[in-house]
Amino acid sequence: MEKDKTPHRENSRLAKAAGVVGAATMLSRVFGFIRDMVVAGFFGAGMATDAFFVAFRIPNLLRRLLAEGSLTVSFVPVFTEYLKKKTHEDACELANVAFTLLTALLTLITVLGVLFAPAVVTVMAPGFVNSPAQYELTVFLTRLMFPYIFFISLVALCMGILNSLRHFLAPALSPVVLNISMILAALTLRGFFREPVTALAVGVIVGGVLQLAMQWPFLLKLGVQLKPDCRFNHPGIGRIGALMLPSFIGSAVYQINVFIGTILASLLPRGSVSFLYYADRLVELPLGVFAIAVGTAALPSFSAQVATGDFENLKKTISFSLRLILFVSIPATIALIVLRVPIISVLFERGAFDGRSTLLTAQALLFYAVGLWAFSVIRVIDSAFFSIQDRKSPLKAAFVALFVNVAMSLILMSHLQHGGLALATSLASMVNVAMLAFILRKKIGTFLDGEFYRSLGKTAISSLAMGGAIFLVGHFLPWDRLSSFSFRLGFLAVSITLGMATFLACAYLTRNSEMMMAIAALKRRIKAS
The distance in angstroms from the start CA to the end CA of the chain is 29
Residues 418 and 311 in one domain: yes
Model confidence at 211, pLDDT cuts 50, 70, 90, reads very high
Residue from 58, 18, 76 nearest 391 by CA: 76
Q: Which structural domain range is residue 478 located in?
A: 451-529
What pLDDT was estimated at residue 427?
A: 93
Residues 245 and 313 in one domain: yes
Note the pTM of the prediction, 2 decimals.
0.73
Residues 438 and 513 in one domain: no
Q: How many domains does the chain have?
A: 2
494-514 confidence digits (pLDDT tens): 999 999 999 999 999 999 888
What pLDDT was estimated at residue 355?
A: 84
Angle at 30 (CA atoms; ends 28, 32), nearest 5 degrees: 65
Q: How far from 508 is each of 78, 201, 511, CA to CA, in Å?
A: 41, 47, 5
Cα 331 from Cα 469, distance rounded (Å) = 12
Is residue 366 in a domain?
Answer: yes
Residues 199 and 240 in one domain: yes
What pLDDT was estimated at residue 4?
A: 47
Residues 422 and 498 in one domain: no
DSSP string, 174-213: HHHHHHHHHHHHHHHHGGGSSSTTHHHHHHHHHHHHHHHH
Q: How far from 90 is each of 67, 185, 388, CA to CA, in Å?
A: 22, 42, 21
Cα 179 from Cα 210, distance rounded (Å) = 11
Residues 442 and 470 in one domain: no
Residues 359 and 462 in one domain: no
What pLDDT was estimated at residue 143?
A: 93
How many other CB atoms are there within 10 angstroms of residue 172's CB atom? 27
433-478 confidence digits (pLDDT tens): 999 999 999 888 888 888 899 999 999 999 999 999 999 998 888 8
Residues 430 and 293 in one domain: yes
Residues 475 and 326 in one domain: no
Torsion sign (Cα): 119, 125, 128, 134: negative
Residues 20 and 90 in one domain: yes
Domain C-terminal end among 423, 448, 473 = 448
Is residue 7 in a domain?
Answer: no
Is residue 5 in a domain?
Answer: no
